[in-house]
Amino acid sequence: MKKGYFGMLAMVVMLVAMTVPIATSLAQDSAPANTAAKTQLDEAKSMTFLDLIKQGGPFMYPLGLFSMATLYFVIRNSMLLREKNMLRTDLRPQIEALMAKRDVAGIRKLCAENESLLTAVLDAGMERISEEHDYDATHVMEAIEEAGNEQMVSFMKPINFLSIIGGTAPMLGLLGTVSGMIKAFSTIASGGMGNPEVLAGNIGEALITTATGLIIAIPSMIAYFIFKNNFIKSMSTMGRMVGHFMNIFRYAKAG
């Protein structure tokens, strides 16, 4: 799972980095075919990344923010959603030993010192057990379920941001496309066919924003589904582990 996260991160970085060569190719294809074509082609080949952003128009700036946000959330989720950080399997022997002793205070202290998805949910359940160790399975499981839902909402927020970016980036790119085509048709309507540089710039704006929006959206959606599926799996594993711990406590009490 850890290898999958870092492999996905490398893939996302690679896909986002593809924006530059693809945009450069679109800019080169938009060069007009006239007597100055060779000169314009040389200029297109020498375009810098800043030139591409300028040619893409104002919509390239929010798209640039989307690309940086995608990288941020991919890195953040890769670090926080590691199974070893959420489930803390290294604490399992200590928790089982404390459960067998019915040491509620010790379990809660251990949970407070080791914050994670598992310990937060387990501590909520232990909170419902009285000092006399009266175990009401219904109340305890309700507390565990409530804490599990609260933790799920908290962890899913940064994952859902990737889905928002993946859905919004293409629409923003499409808006840039529409803006560029409107300018292109306005240039044609005003007799701008004799000035191909202006027309090519309008078309370039339309193509570059579309490509940029898609390049941002594709890795965002891939990352969203990978993180979501892995988190759901971790939540299922967490539920099984908490149930196992509570069974140890119940049977130890009965004994």
Q: Give the separation between CA 32 and CA 228, rounded to whole angstroms.
A: 46
| AA letter at 112 | A
Sorted by sequence, the CB contacts under 8 Å of residue 129 that are 6+ apart come out as 104, 135, 140, 249
Asked if 55 and 205 touch (Cβ cutoff 8 Å), the reply is yes
What's the pLDDT at 26? 44
| pLDDT tens, N- to C-terminus, the chain (255 residues) | 444 545 555 555 445 444 444 444 444 444 444 444 445 445 545 556 566 667 667 888 899 999 999 999 999 999 999 988 999 999 999 999 999 998 999 999 999 999 999 999 999 999 888 655 567 788 888 999 999 999 999 999 999 999 999 999 999 988 888 877 777 777 666 765 556 666 566 676 677 888 899 999 999 999 999 999 999 999 999 999 999 999 998 888 554
The answer to whether the beta carbons of residues 116 and 86 sit under 8 Å apart is yes
Domain boundaries, the chain: 2-254
The Cα 11–Cα 9 span in angstroms is 5
| DSSP three-state, residue 59 | coil
pLDDT value of residue 189? 67
**Predicted structure pTM score:** 0.74
Residue-level pLDDT at 33: 41
